[in-house]
Structure 1
Amino acid sequence: MAQEERHTQIMLEDIKHKLKIIAEGHEMLAQKIDIISDKVESLDNRMDFAGLPKQSLKSI
């Protein structure tokens, strides 16, 4: 029984480690999306300032 509990504990630790990696990847992705969104907004503002027609860059 103790061996099964140890095996279960190892599996749980592995799952926790993998979830941490996924969470870190999710955070990095969210940061990159924010950067892209800011760049699109900046480009959208420049197009507006230049009098160019907007083609709804945010929908891309």
Structure 2
Amino acid sequence: MDQQRGLASATMIGQIIGFTLMRPVMQALEQQYRVRHTILAGGIALSQAKISAARNRASAGHH
């Protein structure tokens, strides 16, 4: 029981530290949201294109 309580408090402390560290990061991300969102969307589209191209090559190789 004590181990579980210790683990829970350690997890809570970790979450608090993580949240405290993440807040300025999240604020910076919010400020640059449009730029980062555009880059992210472009990266996702690019990786999806790569995946579909790889699938097409793989299926062509099987036939």
Q: TM-score scaled by structure 2?
A: 0.50
CA distance in 2, matches of 1:25, 1:19: 10
RMSD over aligned Cα atoms: 1.5
Q: Shift of residue 36 of structure 1?
A: 0.2
In structure 1, runs of 5+ residues without a counterpart are 1-9, 46-60
- Bigger RCO of structures 1 and 2 (CA < 8 A, at least 6 apart): 1
CA distance in 2, matches of 1:21, 1:42: 31
CA distance in 2, matches of 1:22, 1:16: 10
Q: Tell me which of 32, 37, 48 is aligned to 2:50.
A: 32
User: Which of the pair has more CA radius of gyration?
Assistant: 1
CA distance in 1, matches of 2:51, 2:41: 15
- The one-character-per-residue Cα deviations of 1:16-36 (angstroms, maximum 9, x if unpaired) are 110110000000000000110
Residue aligned with 2:44, SS: helix
Q: Percent identity?
A: 15
In structure 2, runs of 5+ residues without a counterpart are 1-29
Residue aligned with 1:31, SS: helix
